[in-house]
Structure 1
Amino acid sequence: MYNLKVVIIGAGIGGLTAGIALRQAGYEVEIYDRVKELRPAGAGISLWSNGVKVLNRLGLGEKMAAIGGLMDRMQYLTLKGDVLNDIDLRPLVEEVGQRPYPVARTDLQQMLLEAYPGEVKLEHKCIAVEQDENSVTAIFENGHRTTGDLLIAADGVRSLLRTYVLGQEVQPKYGHYVNWNGLVPASEDLAAKNSWVIFVGEHKRASMMPVSGDRFYFFFDVPLPKGTVSSPEHYRAELTEHFQGWAQPVQNLIQRLDPYKTNRLEIHDVGPIDRMVRGRVALLGDAAHATCPDLGQGGCQAMEDGLVLTQYLLTTNISMEYALKRYEADRKERTSAVVEKARKRAEMIHGKEPEITQKWYQQLAEEEPADVRGAIAKVILAGPLR
Structure 2
Amino acid sequence: MPKAVVVGGGIGGLATAVAFHRRGWEVEVLERAATIAEIGAGLSVWPNALRALDLLGLGDEVRARALEDGAAGIRDPKGRWLARADAAVLRARYGSPIMMHRADLLDVLRRGVPESALRAGISVTEARADGTVTHSAGTSTGDVVVGADGIRSVVRRAVCGEIAPRYSGYTAWRVVVRPSGPVCEMGETWGRGQRFGFSGLHDGRVYCFATANMPEGTRTDGAAELRRRFGTWHEPIGDLIAAATESTVLQNDIYSLPALKTYVSGRVALLGDAAHAMTPNLGQGACQALEDSVVLAAVATEDRDLTRYDALRRPRTQMIAARSERIGTVGQLESAAAVAVRNAVLRCVPSSVQFNALAPVLDWVG
Pairwise same-fold verdict (TM > 0.5): yes
For residues 224 and 28 of structure 1, do their structure 2 counterparts lie closer, same or farther at Cα, with a shift above 3 Å needed?
same
Residue in structure 2 matching 1:278, options 260, 265, 290: 265
Alignment of 1:40-55 (within 5 A): 40=38, 43-55=41-53
Residue in structure 2 matching 1:31, options 21, 29, 32: 29
**Separation in structure 2 between the aligned mates of residue 79 and residue 57 of structure 1, nearest angstrom:** 41
| Contact 1:271 1:339 (C-alpha < 8 Å) held by counterparts | no
For residues 151 and 229 of structure 1, do their structure 2 counterparts lie closer, same or farther at Cα, with a shift above 3 Å needed?
same
**Separation in structure 1 between the aligned mates of residue 217 and residue 129 of structure 2, nearest angstrom:** 38
For residues 314 and 187 of structure 1, do their structure 2 counterparts lie closer, same or farther at Cα, with a shift above 3 Å needed?
farther
Alignment of 1:24-103 (within 5 A): 24-40=22-38, 43-96=41-94, 98-103=95-100
Residue 309 of structure 2 corresponds to: 327
Residue in structure 2 matching 1:222, options 212, 225, 238: 212
**Separation in structure 1 between the aligned mates of residue 352 and residue 20 of structure 2, nearest angstrom:** 38
Residue 222 of structure 2 corresponds to: 235
Cα offsets for 1:211-230 (capped at 9, x unmatched) = 21111111011111112113
Cα offsets for 1:327-386 (capped at 9, x unmatched) = 0111111111111111111111112777554433222222222222222233111x343x
**Separation in structure 2 between the aligned mates of residue 245 and residue 295 of structure 1, nearest angstrom:** 26
Query: Structure 1 vs Structure 2: percent identity of aligned residues?
Result: 30
Residue 339 of structure 1 corresponds to: 321
SS in structure 2 at match of 1:221:
strand
Alignment of 1:1-386 (within 5 A): 3-40=1-38, 43-96=41-94, 98-119=95-116, 120-132=118-130, 136-140=131-135, 142-166=136-160, 168-186=161-179, 188=181, 191-192=183-184, 195-230=185-220, 234-243=221-230, 245-316=232-303, 320=304, 323-351=305-333, 356-381=338-363, 383-385=364-366
Mean Cα deviation higher: 289-298 or 306-315: 306-315
| Contact 1:179 1:222 (C-alpha < 8 Å) held by counterparts | yes
Unaligned segments of structure 1, at least 5 residues: none
Mean Cα deviation higher: 252-261 or 178-187: 178-187
SS in structure 1 at match of 2:54:
helix
Q: CA RMSD in A?
A: 1.8
For residues 335 and 39 of structure 1, do their structure 2 counterparts lie closer, same or farther at Cα, with a shift above 3 Å needed?
same
**Separation in structure 1 between the aligned mates of residue 80 and residue 354 of structure 2, nearest angstrom:** 18
The aligned amino acid for 2:201 is V
Cα offsets for 1:52-80 (capped at 9, x unmatched) = 11111111121111111222442211101
For residues 247 and 353 of structure 1, do their structure 2 counterparts lie closer, same or farther at Cα, with a shift above 3 Å needed?
closer
**Separation in structure 2 between the aligned mates of residue 130 and residue 274 of structure 1, nearest angstrom:** 18
Q: Give the TM-score normalised by structure 1.
A: 0.90
SS in structure 1 at match of 2:326:
helix
The aligned amino acid for 1:337 is M
The aligned amino acid for 2:287 is C
| Contact 1:79 1:200 (C-alpha < 8 Å) held by counterparts | yes
| Contact 1:177 1:221 (C-alpha < 8 Å) held by counterparts | yes
| Contact 1:180 1:263 (C-alpha < 8 Å) held by counterparts | yes
**C-alpha displacement of 1:9:** 0.3
**Separation in structure 2 between the aligned mates of residue 127 and residue 368 of structure 1, nearest angstrom:** 51
**C-alpha displacement of 1:39:** 3.5
Q: Give the TM-score normalised by structure 2.
A: 0.94
Mean Cα deviation higher: 329-338 or 33-42: 33-42
For residues 237 and 261 of structure 1, do their structure 2 counterparts lie closer, same or farther at Cα, with a shift above 3 Å needed?
closer
The aligned amino acid for 1:339 is A
Mean Cα deviation higher: 3-12 or 110-119: 110-119
Unaligned segments of structure 2, at least 5 residues: none
| Contact 2:192 2:336 (C-alpha < 8 Å) held by counterparts | no
The aligned amino acid for 2:216 is K
